[in-house]
């Protein structure tokens, strides 16, 4: 393979990120989906739900209150970038240690299912938005480059600092840049990966996500070894001193430069700003490269030069930028093997590599064997998952039951593939209609650019198109674009990672405090089959089909009236594809608190949604085996259609809330935030 050259490595700088915390008026409207239903009920005798209390006059404690500032988000769960939709965590809750951030503690209440992390105050959210950390990092890099005078000279190596969102060799811009610098300086490359349990805990990383990270890292070590590139690993418990640890590693191995890809969460950007300053003080060149998004954050702006907060006009601009500048989809240059002769420290490390643990303490994955079947690790696996999406038909037997993304029996049929049928079938949960790429995108095992390059090639077009929603490939391209959109929102409005609702007017919405109902939701025992199937799929697979994610999220927020941040955290702690930006975006879209959200008065009817998302009923039958013998409409609302005695024999719970009551309560509280 040819060695990477600097000219072929796309370096991007970020501007336009000194934004006002004031809300920007959106250019255009994004039409909300039209399949939300009012309180229709299936015909037949209704069985009384187990809990349908009248509205209480008593003021309930607010599980997650504090004066808010706007936060992100929009259309809940886009397939590939965000099959991982409602799936983020408080992945950047800069507490007082990190900077000038004041917080409000959660209100007391022993029985309240309170998110333990603090939620930043409105003032803190406004301050971080006024000077986004991504802009601060960029300014630090500009100062670093201007003051660069060659540092320590030639050095002994160039460090590529891999993180848990860019776990690949192919199309990796930071790695390609490191290779380019190494070539210029006639130096070898050293890959470095630092485990940070404190960050994983603070960011609600799931054991499954950490296990997937470790499995992919082992795979990458083999790939690096084939290129004579040593991989150094170490665990560092004190998250706020991680920059110092990295620079110490660079210093130990005599690094001339360190290269990494940008991560857009607040804590991560502040960490990397510290790395730039510490590395510069040691005479080590430091480069951070925009890699995660197809179009770098800060480029897709309104005519007034402001970030979009509505998806539709943002998408039109995004497509125009991609079409006008082919480098946005350009593959980063491949890297070449290190020289056969290495400096003694690197040679020793190559022959006696530092260990990659079986697990990270506190993040033991109890179903690791099962996850490795559902979601095998490796770049080749990710490439094959993408190929199958583009070229093979959907299969109902892929619902679960130990069937992984590479289960045998696929049917090659490019004309009727999942990609070709995506526009019509993407919401069908009763077969593998979606790409199932979200775990691989979230961990950076495959790049979004590669996904779109392959989609363009498959479509036979010369350039990227995404305007025709009736075209399966173009529809999927729009869903990949959602991943960029939410990351752009995160970069421009970093308060989204600090527990703030984007729409300030909904900050005072009253939330219920009901640990029992929250647990029933998590366990898939709500009495609403489509919701329960979704939550049990989460437990079984560490993943959930996009449409059921949306339905389950809506049920938690609008039916149970539980704070969306509880669901946001639970998804992040459960899913293998957790991504802060997409998860927060999806949950805030569903909760009607985010950017371009679902209007608060559009409330999913869980029974009707079940009929639409699972027309055959096979999804429910698979994940809710108590109902596997039920036929027709009965399976979507058994408590309504069956005599009480027959229903009891199922061993399935009655609905824990009455939808009509819940809908009226949600409308009342959203219409007048702060009211009961």
| Burial class, 535, CB count within 10 angstroms (exposed 0-12 / middle 13-18 / buried 19+) | buried
**CATH number corresponding to 103-130+496-671:** 1.10.579.10
Distance of CA 330 to the CA centre of its chain: 23
Helix axes 546-554, 529-541, angle to 10 degrees: 120
Is 485 assigned to a binding site? yes
Domain boundaries, the chain: 103-130+496-671, 140-291+332-351, 368-485
The answer to whether residues 422 and 476 touch, using CB atoms and an 8 Å cutoff, is yes
Residue 210 to residue 195: CA distance in whole angstroms? 10
Task: Check if 375 is active-site.
Answer: no
**Residue 277 above 60 pLDDT?**
yes
- The pair of structure tokens assigned to 621 is 């039958």
Residue 212 to residue 196: CA distance in whole angstroms? 15
Residues constituting the chain: 676
Q: Are strands 231-235 and 189-195 parallel, antiparallel or unpaired?
A: parallel
Question: Choosing from 161, 314, 564, 589, which is the catalytic residue?
Answer: 564
- The pair of structure tokens assigned to 216 is 């992919």
**Residue 629 above 70 pLDDT?**
yes
Question: Choosing from 268, 479, 504, 512, which is the catalytic residue?
Answer: 479
Is 486 assigned to a binding site? yes
Is 92 assigned to a binding site? no
Tell me, what's the pLDDT at 462? 84
Higher pLDDT, 10 or 464: 464
Its CATH architecture, for the domain 368-485, is Alpha Horseshoe (1.25)
**Residue 34 above 80 pLDDT?**
no
> Does an H or E element contain 286, and which?
strand 285-289
**Residue 634 above 60 pLDDT?**
yes
**Residue 343 above 50 pLDDT?**
yes
**Residue 40 above 60 pLDDT?**
no
Q: For residue 301, what is the DSSP state? A: B
Residue 327 to residue 76: CA distance in whole angstroms? 29
Residue 484 to residue 482: CA distance in whole angstroms? 5
Average pLDDT estimate for 581-597:
95
Residue 97 to residue 623: CA distance in whole angstroms? 44
- The pair of structure tokens assigned to 170 is 């192919």
Question: Choosing from 587, 589, 608, 640, which is the catalytic residue?
Answer: 587
Closest residue by Cα to residue 299 from 484, 452, 472:
484
> Does an H or E element contain 344, and which?
helix 344-351
The answer to whether residues 587 and 89 touch, using CB atoms and an 8 Å cutoff, is no
Task: Check if 482 is active-site.
Answer: yes
Q: Are strands 285-289 and 255-261 parallel, antiparallel or unpaired?
A: parallel
User: What's phi and psi for 307, nearest 5 deg?
Assistant: -65, 140
Average pLDDT estimate for 132-141:
98
Distance of CA 671 to the CA centre of its chain: 30
Question: Choosing from 161, 314, 482, 589, which is the catalytic residue?
Answer: 482
Is 483 assigned to a binding site? yes
**Residue 25 above 90 pLDDT?**
no
Residue written as tokens 């509505």? 310
Is 422 assigned to a binding site? yes
Tell me, what's the pLDDT at 157? 98
Tell me, what's the pLDDT at 150? 65
The answer to whether residues 587 and 550 touch, using CB atoms and an 8 Å cutoff, is no
Is 291 assigned to a binding site? no
Tell me, what's the pLDDT at 389? 97
pLDDT tens digits, residue range 528-575? 999 999 999 999 999 999 999 999 999 999 999 999 999 999 999 999
- Determine the Cα angle at 291 with ends 476 and 440, to 5°: 50
Task: Check if 161 is active-site.
Answer: no
Helix axes 529-541, 564-574, angle to 10 degrees: 40
Specify the range with the lowest mean pLDDT, choosing from 86-100, 239-253, 392-406, 445-459.
Answer: 86-100
Tell me, what's the pLDDT at 465? 86
Is 482 assigned to a binding site? yes
Q: How far is CA 292 from CA 81, 328, 446, in A?
A: 11, 11, 10
**Residue 2 above 50 pLDDT?**
no
**Residue 639 above 70 pLDDT?**
yes
Is 212 assigned to a binding site? no
By percentage, how much of the chain surpasses pLDDT 90? 76
Tell me, what's the pLDDT at 468? 86
Domain at 140-291+332-351, CATH from 3.40.50.620, 3.90.245.10, 1.10.3720.10, 3.40.605.10:
3.40.50.620
Is 35 assigned to a binding site? no
CA dihedral 425, 429, 434, 436 (to 10 degrees): -170
Is 579 assigned to a binding site? yes
Residue 82 to residue 482: CA distance in whole angstroms? 7
Residue written as tokens 């809710």? 624
Question: Choosing from 172, 546, 583, 584, which is the catalytic residue?
Answer: 546
Average pLDDT estimate for 222-240:
97
The answer to whether residues 376 and 405 touch, using CB atoms and an 8 Å cutoff, is yes
Residue written as tokens 């510490």? 278
**Residue 57 above 90 pLDDT?**
no
Number of CB atoms found within 10 A of residue 127's CB = 18
Specify the range with the lowest mean pLDDT, choosing from 76-80, 140-144, 153-157, 508-512.
Answer: 76-80
Tell me, what's the pLDDT at 117? 58
The answer to whether residues 172 and 166 touch, using CB atoms and an 8 Å cutoff, is yes
3-state secondary structure of 50: coil
* Residue partners of 343: CB distance under 8 A and separation at least 6: 156, 157, 188, 254
Is 311 assigned to a binding site? no
The answer to whether residues 308 and 302 touch, using CB atoms and an 8 Å cutoff, is yes
Strands, E assignment, 223-276: 231-235, 255-261
- The pair of structure tokens assigned to 209 is 């996500």
**Residue 119 above 70 pLDDT?**
yes
Q: What share of the chain is helix, strand, coil (3-state, %, to 5)?
A: 45, 5, 50
Q: For residue 651, what is the DSSP state? A: T
Is 111 assigned to a binding site? no
The answer to whether residues 590 and 531 touch, using CB atoms and an 8 Å cutoff, is no
pLDDT tens digits, residue range 493-528? 999 899 999 998 898 999 999 999 999 999 999 999
Is 375 assigned to a binding site? no
Tell me, what's the pLDDT at 153? 65
Tell me, what's the pLDDT at 403? 79
Residue written as tokens 């006002």? 20
> Does an H or E element contain 285, and which?
strand 285-289
**Residue 76 above 80 pLDDT?**
no
Closest residue by Cα to residue 440 from 386, 479, 481:
386
pLDDT tens digits, residue range 417-443? 999 999 999 999 999 999 999 999 999
Exposure b/e, 210-221, CB count within 10 A at least 16 = b: bbbbbbbbebbb
Averaged pLDDT of the chain: 85
Closest residue by Cα to residue 185 from 161, 156, 159, 226:
156
Question: Choosing from 318, 375, 511, 589, which is the catalytic residue?
Answer: 511
Q: How far is CA 290 from CA 124, 158, 271, 488, 657, in A?
A: 26, 19, 16, 12, 46
Tell me, what's the pLDDT at 347? 97
The answer to whether residues 353 and 221 touch, using CB atoms and an 8 Å cutoff, is yes
């Amino acid at each position: 393979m040819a060695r990477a050259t600097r000219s072929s490595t796309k370096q991007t700088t970020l501007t336009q990120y000194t934004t006002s915390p004031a809300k920007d008026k959106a250019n255009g409207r994004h039409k909300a989906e039209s399949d939300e239903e009012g309180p229709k009920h299936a015909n037949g005798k209704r069985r009384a739900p187990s809990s349908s209390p009248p509205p209480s006059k008593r003021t309930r404690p607010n599980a997650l209150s504090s004066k808010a500032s706007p936060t992100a988000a929009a259309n809940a769960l886009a397939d590939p970038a965000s099959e991982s939709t409602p799936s983020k965590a408080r992945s950047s809750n800069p507490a007082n240690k990190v900077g000038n951030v004041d917080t409000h503690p959660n209100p007391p209440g022993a029985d309240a299912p309170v998110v333990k992390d603090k939620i930043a105050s409105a003032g803190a959210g406004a301050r971080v938005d006024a000077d986004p950390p991504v802009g601060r990092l960029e300014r630090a890099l500009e100062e670093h480059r201007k003051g660069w005078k060659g540092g320590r000279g030639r050095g002994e190596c160039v460090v590529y600092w891999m993180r848990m969102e860019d776990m690949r060799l192919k199309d990796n811009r930071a790695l390609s840049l490191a290779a380019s610098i190494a070539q210029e300086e006639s130096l070898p490359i050293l890959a470095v990966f630092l485990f940070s349990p404190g960050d994983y805990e603070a960011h609600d990383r799931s054991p499954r996500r950490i296990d997937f990270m470790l499995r992919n890292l082992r795979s990458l070590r083999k790939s690096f070894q084939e290129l004579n590139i040593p991989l150094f690993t170490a665990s560092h418990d004190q998250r706020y001193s991680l920059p110092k640890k990295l620079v110490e590693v660079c210093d130990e191995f005599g690094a001339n430069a360190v290269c990494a890809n940008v991560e857009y969460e607040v804590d991560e950007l502040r960490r990397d700003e510290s790395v730039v300053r510490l590395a510069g003080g040691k005479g080590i060149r430091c480069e951070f490269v925009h890699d995660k998004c197809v179009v770098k954050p800060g480029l897709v702006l309104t005519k007034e030069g402001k970030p979009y907060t509505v998806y539709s006009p943002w998408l039109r601009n995004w497509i125009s930028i991609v079409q006008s500048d082919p480098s946005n989809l350009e593959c980063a240059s491949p890297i070449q093997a290190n020289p056969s002769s290495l400096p003694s420290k690197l040679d020793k490390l190559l022959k006696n590599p530092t260990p990659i643990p079986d697990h990270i303490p506190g993040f033991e994955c109890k179903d690791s064997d099962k996850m490795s079947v559902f979601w095998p690790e490796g770049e080749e696996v990710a490439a094959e998952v993408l190929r199958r999406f583009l070229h093979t038909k959907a299969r109902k037997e892929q619902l679960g039951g130990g069937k992984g993304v590479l289960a045998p029996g696929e049917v090659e049929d490019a004309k009727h593939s999942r990609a070709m049928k995506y526009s019509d079938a993407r919401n069908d949960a009763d077969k593998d209609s979606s790409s199932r790429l979200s775990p691989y995108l979230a961990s950076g095992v495959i790049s979004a650019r590669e996904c779109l390059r392959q989609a363009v090639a498959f479509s036979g077009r010369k350039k990227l198109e995404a305007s025709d929603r009736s075209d399966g490939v173009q529809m999927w391209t729009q869903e990949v674009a959602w991943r960029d959109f939410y990351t752009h929102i995160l970069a421009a409005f970093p308060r989204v990672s600090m527990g703030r609702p984007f729409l300030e007017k909904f900050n005072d919405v009253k939330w219920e405090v009901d640990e029992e109902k929250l647990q029933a939701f998590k366990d898939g025992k709500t009495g609403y089959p489509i919701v329960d199937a979704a939550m049990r799929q989460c437990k079984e697979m560490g993943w959930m089909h996009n449409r059921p994610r949306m339905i389950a999220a809506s049920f938690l927020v609008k039916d149970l009236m539980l704070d969306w941040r509880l669901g946001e955290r639970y998804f992040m702690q459960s899913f293998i594809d957790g991504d802060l930006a997409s998860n927060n975006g999806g949950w805030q879209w569903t909760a009607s608190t985010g950017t371009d959200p679902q209007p608060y008065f559009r409330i999913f009817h869980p029974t009707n949604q079940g009929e639409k998302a699972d027309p055959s009923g096979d999804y429910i039958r698979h994940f809710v085996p108590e109902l596997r013998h039920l036929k027709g409409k009965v399976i979507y609302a058994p408590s309504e259609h069956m005599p009480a005695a027959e229903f009891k024999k199922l061993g399935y719970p009655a609905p824990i809330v009455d939808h009509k009551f819940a809908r009226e309560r949600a409308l009342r509280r959203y219409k007048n935030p702060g009211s009961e």
